[in-house]
Amino acid sequence: MNAILGMKTMLDASPFATIAATRRQLAARKVSPSELLSHFLARIEQRDGDIKAWRYLDKEGARQRALELDQQMGAIACKSALFGIPYGAKDIFHTRGLPTEGGSKVLEGNISSENASVIDKFDGMGALLLGKLTTTEFANLGTPPKTGNAWNPAYTPGGSSSGSAAAVGARMALMALGTQTAGSLSRPAAFNGVTVLKATYGRISKAGVIPASWSLDHVGAFTHTVEDAALVFNALSGPDPRDDTTLSLPYTPLQLREKHDYTVGIVEHPYYAGGGGDAEIGAACLQAMDALAGRGVKLKRITLPDSFDDACRAHHIVMQA
């Protein structure tokens, strides 16, 4: 545990530890998009042999795009929250000219002719696509990828957004697009120690994303911090004529508060005493609660209704159908 904490402290000291910090480096012209790309390609070279998070790495395309962004730094760098930020996309997001195979041999060699809407949004903001990340087959009940956990490749990264969470957790990208139909954002985020926001249904467009269960699918992005998650959410959310589920919700950007006057719900469950899972994880959850309380966060203990299990069963019936 001490070794892991030491590694995390060392990584957090990097000038490129978060989107927000990297954005400041780019705005001050202390680094160019091409230099930033070289940093992350070197990191991928160092880590991905063990983790296997990347299904397709577009090195040449990323280098060409980075050179274009180098020429645009004065015009865009200070205006876009995601200018020059390297990212990856789960292999169910269509990406023009690149393979989109859904983690399946059925679509092996399939080249997308258009982008998913969120890829277009990132592109318009000057974000830098590195390539495609592994997924459980069709983000559903198929074969899981041979991807390892960011902190210990011998352990699972969770799924179905396996490569996306592992890539961010291992510092091979500053953000990565994923999806959730059942637990495919929250689970791998927890397993790899990264941040994710599963937004309200319809907040972020699903257009151009291979569906798992269209009425349950959500798009999200893995980052390192809550601040970064807010930056990415504000970039991705909003109405999209290609996805009518986004048209009925008003666009409301996230605003972070400096005061920690938040209320966090704590679900009463034997898990937190080590009864429903690993005792070390249960103890870590209790420590996290103490840390939140120490920052002024209000903790409210809640008990799930008996009908909650019925809701879960209904969810899986819809998803499987």
Output the six-digit token pair for 166: 């592992």
- Alpha-carbon gap, residue 145 to 317, rounded angstroms: 24
The burial class, CB within 10 Å (0-12 / 13-18 / 19+), for 231 is buried
Question: 80, 104, 117, 160: which one is catalytic?
Answer: 160
Question: 32, 34, 80, 184: which one is catalytic?
Answer: 184
Helix (H, G, I), strand (E, B) or coil at 221: strand
Which helix (DSSP H) or strand (DSSP E) does residue 78 occupy?
none
Query: 79: Cβ–Cβ under 8 A, 6 or more apart, which residues?
Result: none
Question: 34, 52, 90, 161: which one is catalytic?
Answer: 90
Q: How many CB atoms lie within 10 A of CB 320?
A: 9
Looking at the DSSP bridge assignments, the partners of residue 204 are 237
- Alpha-carbon gap, residue 172 to 150, rounded angstroms: 10
User: Does the annotation mark 90 as catalytic?
Assistant: yes
- Alpha-carbon gap, residue 31 to 38, rounded angstroms: 11
Least Cα distance to 292 among 254, 256, 261, 267 occurs for 261
- Alpha-carbon gap, residue 35 to 174, rounded angstroms: 15
User: Does the annotation mark 160 as catalytic?
Assistant: yes
The burial class, CB within 10 Å (0-12 / 13-18 / 19+), for 61 is middle
What is the set of active-site residues?
A: 90, 160, 184
